[in-house]
Each structure stands twice: as C-alpha cells, then as structure tokens.
Amino acid sequence: MPGRVESKVAIVVGAGQTPGMTIGNGRATAVLLAREGASVVVADRDLNSAEETASMIADEGGEATVYETDATSEESLRAMVAEAVSRYGGLDILHNNVGASVGAGDASPMEITEEGFDRIVALNLKSHWLASRQAIPAMRRGGGGSIVNISSMAARHAYPFLGYKATKTALLALTEQLASQHAIDNIRVNAILPGAMNTPMAIEPRVAAGADRADLIARRNSRIPLGGKMGTGWDVGYAALFLHSDEARFISGIALHVDGAEHISDSVSGQ
C-alpha cells in the first residue's frame, strides 16, 4: 500500500537534534515522513546531526538528502528550497522545527538581554516566516502544499522566559496569517503545540545546568494526566505526519495541542 505522503517532497528545517538519550521532534518527523513515502531534505545548521538523521532514514530504505542551512538567513533558505526543487522536481511539504530558549539566552522580562531577545526572535519566529516565504512559490507551482510550524504549549500557559513565550505565541498568528492568505493557493498552514516532551532539547540543557535527570523526568511526568508520562518526539512526529498528509486536506489554520491533556488539567488551572 502507498504511504500517507507517498511521492511528496518534504523539507524538515531543524531535522537534527540536541545530543541526548531520546529522539527530538524534528528528527522523528523526518523519519516518519520518509517511512510514509516522502523524499526528505534533512536541513539543519548542525551538518553532523543532520547526517545522523539521514542515515536513520537510509537504513530503513527511505530517501533523504542533507542540507546545511542557517534558518535565520533568507539566502540560505532560498538555496535550500532551490536544492530541494532541483533534486526532486518540486516541493510539497515544509516543516519548521527550529526553536530555542535558555540555550539561546532566554530569561525573564527583566533579565533577558536585548541581544538574547533578538536572537530568540530570529530563531523561533523570523526563521519560520523566511522559510515559508521561500517555500510558497515552489508550492504554488506544484498546485499546493502543507506547512507546519512547531509552536509550544508555552503559548497557552504561564511560562518563566520571555523570549520563548512571546515567539511561540506570535508563531500562532503567523500560522493563521499564512493559512488565510494562501488558502487560495491550496497551501495549508497549521501549527503544533507540544506540551512537556521527553526530548533532548527539553531535558539535556536542564541536566547540564545541574538538575538530577531522574527527578526532572519524574516532575515533568507528574504534570501529565494522560498516562502520567511526558510525550516523545514520535508523538509530535505523528501529529505532523497527519497534518502534512492528504487526510488533513480540509484542515488549515489550526493550533493542535499535543500535550497529554495537560491544558485541561487541574494542575494547570490551579484548582
């Protein structure tokens, strides 16, 4: 049977990951898209990490090519899209997975520096707009496409760090704007809001800063009503696979919560 994204061409920006014991959202998405028949451009600023992702895809018999890109540079993203179109003949899927918080200098409103704020805006928000702006003309030429932006449940909850909260919230507005203005082009644009995830990006910086790994994981697990455990990169990846597939052909402009029902739990509401 054909895969759910059979013969589609996909770019996953941020398809590498922070080193760690688990799989990241971008890597899981790239692997799943390839498993379901897409040719995947594995794009990341860390070429070695991108090559690891591509090797995982190749080991399963999938099709992937690696592209080293700076997601904050429009010229780099323009070249990335051109490479995808040249190699595979078009572009159907853009998956924007770039994001950072503490590691990029995030902090509370009174502690974050101007340089840190600007850096996080460029990584978490501007990069998604720039990549979409480069991808949309190629999608138009092919008759349509799908864009998914990775936001965060930090957009819905209180969050201690200004840059991440502000940019992940703004990303929802960007998603709606693109979805509204490019529906006529048959381009669907949606956002995924991961909750507490057991991914390297979520866990490893905190452990490096001195947190006990087992205690950190236990505390994060305790927040999740559904099964009592954090989600994984695969949970985000499967949500993305659905949104990028033709099964979601009539869905655009949504913000999909992938958070184990945390947003409706008593622990969030404070009751």
Distance (Å, rounded) from C-alpha 106 to C-alpha 165?
A: 10
Distance (Å, rounded) from C-alpha 236 to C-alpha 22?
A: 13
Helical axes 74-88 vs 127-141, angle rounded to 10°: 30
Residue 164 is among the residues annotated as catalytic for this protein:
yes
Q: Do 3 and 40 contact (CB within 8 A), yes or no?
A: no
Other beta carbons less than 10 A from residue 88's beta carbon: 20
Looking at the DSSP bridge assignments, the partners of residue 65 are: 41
Q: Find, among 90, 172, 70, 84, the residue nearest to 130 by Cα.
A: 70
Distance (Å, rounded) from C-alpha 16 to C-alpha 4?
A: 23
Selected catalytic residue, list 67, 88, 159, 164: 164
By CB neighbour count within 10 A (0-12 exposed, 13-18 middle, 19+ buried), where does 133 fall?
middle
Counting Cα atoms < 13 Å in the Cβ hemisphere of 49 gives 20
DSSP string, 153-168: GGGTS--S-HHHHHHH
Catalytic residues: 164
